[in-house]
Amino acid sequence: MTTQIAAALIFLARSVGITAAVLLLLGLAQDAAWPMAAYAAWSGWAGACLALAAALRLATRPASWPWPGVWALALFWGAWHAWEPPGRPADPRWNGPGARVAVANAFRHNATLEEAAIAVARQQPDILVVLEATTAVRDAMIRHVAHHHAWWAPEGDGVHGGILVLSRYAPEGEARIAPPEGSFGRDAVEVVLRAPFGPVRLLAAHPRSPLSEPARQERALTLAGLSARLRQPGPPVIIAGDLNITPRIRDWRLLDPDGRLVGATPWWIGTFPARFGSAGIAIDHILAGPGLATVGPVPFEIPGSDHRGILSEIRPAR
């Protein structure tokens, strides 16, 4: 009996170890493989079929747990977003004097804009950053997110998107709408807002997706430009948007070379592509600079979008 218990414990430890190692590798592989995952829907179906085959084998041959178990657990991990908390967290830490900040990439080809805007408004953000904000996206968000202050930085004529910032808080001075210092391409929105705990400087940005070397270089310049603005004197800084990067990618150091930013979306909360849920990659972020702390982020679904939204609460650091 003692030998059987020992063998069972060894088997369990080996199974857990193998499963944990594979899930870790899956997390690391997200950064390298996300362009394929974003544009190849078959990869999701292939993973589901492999997991189903593994589950069937596990049912017929329980002794073969480690590898079928890995696939079954990976499938469960990919579907985990179905059990994630709703947009307004029940965590009592959210009840403090903070500012609720949301990031939502609405997807410029979204065919369900009204539903998307209602889903975003349901998060009750005090500050909202919307990416791929075409004229139609802008109008829908403004209709449903009833904030008095709005800034829009269209890309070109607005047909291809842009950045929309909606705020419950009044601004201090004029907003700056221009590419970050030293960069080119897409504009960023920079505005100082009167939050309940004092003024904060919001930097809303959407660096280029690094699907080519020129695009990667443009993203690098944008990240470096945001980092330069972070070091300017003034109120504490919030950087929010679809930054098209995760903290494990080398270029993240261009944005945060000395680790002063907090609140990055962790790898287990995927935001893109939305259909992959938590198995996606975390490229949408709400970052707080020195003097600020974050609670969250919490993901939420945006109907018709290829991204999930995120919601965090920003408050003074203790």
Report the alpha-carbon distance of residue 117 to residue 141 in Å, rounded.
5
- Is residue 193 one of the residues assigned to a domain? yes
Q: Examine the pLDDT at 87 and tell me if it is beyond 50.
A: no
Whether residues 194 and 297 share a domain: the answer is yes
Q: Examine the pLDDT at 86 and tell me if it is beyond 60.
A: no
Side-chain half-sphere exposure of 234, counting CA atoms within 13 A = 19
**What count of other Cβ atoms lies within 10 Å of the Cβ of residue 50?**
15
Average pLDDT (77-101) is 51
Whether residues 221 and 285 share a domain: the answer is yes
Whether residues 44 and 94 share a domain: the answer is no
Question: Helix (H, G, I), strand (E, B), or coil: what is residue 165?
Answer: strand
Domain boundary among 37, 54, 78: 78
Report the alpha-carbon distance of residue 287 to residue 159 in Å, rounded.
28
Whether residues 71 and 93 share a domain: the answer is no
Q: Which residue has the tokens 């505005």?
A: 191
- Is residue 304 one of the residues assigned to a domain? yes
Give the N- to C-terminal CA distance of the chain in Å, as an integer: 54
284 with 310: CB under 8 angstroms? yes
CA max distance for the chain: 76
**What count of other Cβ atoms lies within 10 Å of the Cβ of residue 290?**
11
> Which residues, other chains included, contact 155 with Cβ-Cβ below 8 Å and sequence gap of 6+?
161, 162, 186, 187
Per-residue model confidence (pLDDT) at position 79:
45
- Is residue 294 one of the residues assigned to a domain? yes
Q: Examine the pLDDT at 81 and tell me if it is beyond 50.
A: no
Per-residue model confidence (pLDDT) at position 43:
45
- Is residue 83 one of the residues assigned to a domain? no
Which residue range(s) make up the domain with 26? 2-78
Whether residues 227 and 277 share a domain: the answer is yes
Proportion of the chain above pLDDT 70, given as a percent: 69
Domain boundary among 24, 59, 78: 78
Give per-residue pLDDT as tens, 174-211. Answer: 999 888 877 777 888 999 999 999 999 999 999 988 88
Whether residues 40 and 62 share a domain: the answer is yes
Whether residues 164 and 229 share a domain: the answer is yes
- Is residue 296 one of the residues assigned to a domain? yes
Q: Examine the pLDDT at 51 and tell me if it is beyond 70.
A: no
CATH number at residue 294: 3.60.10.10
Domain count, the chain: 2
- Is residue 84 one of the residues assigned to a domain? no
Give the residue with greater pLDDT, 130 vs 266: 130
